Amino acid sequence: MTRHGARRAARRTLRWAARLTALALVAAAVATAGIWAWWQTEPTARGTTTNALWARHQWVGEPHTEEEYRRLGALLRENRITDVYFHAGPFEADGTVPAAKYRNAGRLVEAMRRYAPGVRSQAYLGQIRKVDGRGITDLDDPAVRGRVLATGKTFLDLGFGGIHYDFEPIYPDDRAFLELLDRTRELTRPRGALLSVAIEQLTLVDAVQPVLKALVPRGWGAEPVHYPPRPTADYLRALADRADQVAIMTYDVSLPTRSMAGRHFAWHTERTLRLIGDRTTVIMGVPTYRPLMPWAEDLDVALRGVRRGLDALDRAPRRPYGVGIYAEWTTDPAEWARYRATWLPSGTDNFGA
């Protein structure tokens, strides 16, 4: 090819690239406008009185006054919180939790019985799961799983009404985690306690997971690159068949507009409840901390998005569902007031007062 011909070919390539870029920008603009228009419709669905709260470790690790326990109980009753995930870990690498870390857990459980008798206290236990050599706690090791179970039994013996696991990352081929849930359920059910699990939001396209597994490293550790540990539909159903509650960590949206973030919460609420809402109690996680894009993602957007997701259902799930607030230590009085006004069914504001 002559130099002149090469220049002509390069110009054609640039023109096609410019056209494709323009088309992509137009498509993105149309999609963004469509999502914005969708977001303007006020949701009609109200929330529920099955709701959870992730609570800080200090409740089990440090002493508190009777007045502090009383205020906590009043907060939970007023806001119709049915389950509190009290952070009681994290696990050591060997699957244990040193007793010094939860030396006030017994006092907490007793205080909850006095001041919030209708609220279930769950021991929130987790760690970075070792995957492909990266991470801390190796659930593939039967001895480690055995010590995790023994630790869970310790907290049940202290009077906790449930075990709440938060191991991350959990990929949709993780059979060891499913086995841990099976064995934990053998501990909780005879006591009338619950087994709950926190898990990442669903993958957008299940078929992408095998491709990512083949091309991108897994696990969390020194290397920052890993493919997202999203459950597939089949894996989420497998979790739901083992756990009494599944809490979806829907937050950390990282989308640039409120309508996009709201669409994210709506889509995951609708799809999750369609998949497992008849199998187990579903808790959709909503944030009160400052996420990566706080102008787009906050409690108001999350609750409105969850309600839009409920509107999209053709019927209510057979099992209870609600939201889980992350977290107790980042939620201010104004946010609690908005939660009551926009989520709780009317006539429940003074519950337990």
Task: Give residue 332's identity as a one-letter amino acid code.
Answer: D
Structure tokens at 58: 């200090």
Q: Please determine, for residue 351, whether its predicted confidence score (pLDDT) is greater than 70.
A: no
Structure tokens at 124: 């929130």
Confidence at 297, pLDDT banded by 50, 70, 90: very high
- The DSSP 8-state label assigned to residue 298 in this structure reads S
Q: Please determine, for residue 101, whether its predicted confidence score (pLDDT) is greater than 90.
A: yes
- E strand intervals along the chain: 52-55, 83-87, 120-128, 162-168, 194-200, 245-249, 281-287, 321-326
Alpha helices in 45-193 (DSSP H): 58-61, 66-78, 105-115, 142-157, 175-188
Structure tokens at 219: 């696990």
Position with higher pLDDT, 237 vs 211: 237
pLDDT for res 272: 98
- Superfamily designation of domain 50-342: Glycosidases (3.20.20.80)
Task: Give residue 290's identity as a one-letter amino acid code.
Answer: R
Confidence at 228, pLDDT banded by 50, 70, 90: confident
Q: Please determine, for residue 20, whether its predicted confidence score (pLDDT) is greater than 60.
A: no
| Annotated domain spans of the chain | 1-38, 50-342
Mean pLDDT of the chain: 90
Q: Please determine, for residue 196, whether its predicted confidence score (pLDDT) is greater than 80.
A: yes
**Residue 3: partners with Cβ closer than 8 Å, 6 or more residues away:** none
Task: Give residue 131's identity as a one-letter amino acid code.
Answer: V
Per-residue pLDDT reduced to its tens digit, 258-295: 999 999 999 999 999 999 999 999 999 999 998 889 99
User: Picking from 96-110, 130-144, 178-192, 206-220, which range would have the lowest pLDDT averaged per residue?
Assistant: 206-220
Residues 224-250 have a mean pLDDT of: 91
Full-model pTM:
0.89
What is the Cα–Cα distance from 63 to 65, expressed in whole angstroms? 7
Give the length of the chain.
353
What is the Cα–Cα distance from 343 to 304, expressed in whole angstroms? 8
pLDDT for res 350: 35
pLDDT for res 21: 60
- The DSSP 8-state label assigned to residue 137 in this structure reads B
Residues 249-259 have a mean pLDDT of: 94
What is the Cα–Cα distance from 94 to 147, expressed in whole angstroms? 7
Q: DSSP states of 224-265 as a string?
A: ------PPPHHHHHHHHTT-SEEEEE------SSHHHHHHHH
3-state secondary structure of 224: coil
pLDDT for res 353: 27
Position with higher pLDDT, 16 vs 307: 307
Structure tokens at 287: 């944030």
Among candidates 295, 317, 322, 308, which has minimal Cα distance to 265?
308
pLDDT for res 32: 73
User: Picking from 141-155, 261-275, 311-325, 334-348, which range would have the lowest pLDDT averaged per residue?
Assistant: 334-348
The H or E element that residue 337 is part of is helix 333-342
Give phi and psi for 173, each to the nearest 5.
-115, 20
What is the Cα–Cα distance from 124 to 118, expressed in whole angstroms? 19
* Alpha-carbon distances, residue 245 vs 109, 167, 202 (angstroms): 20, 15, 16
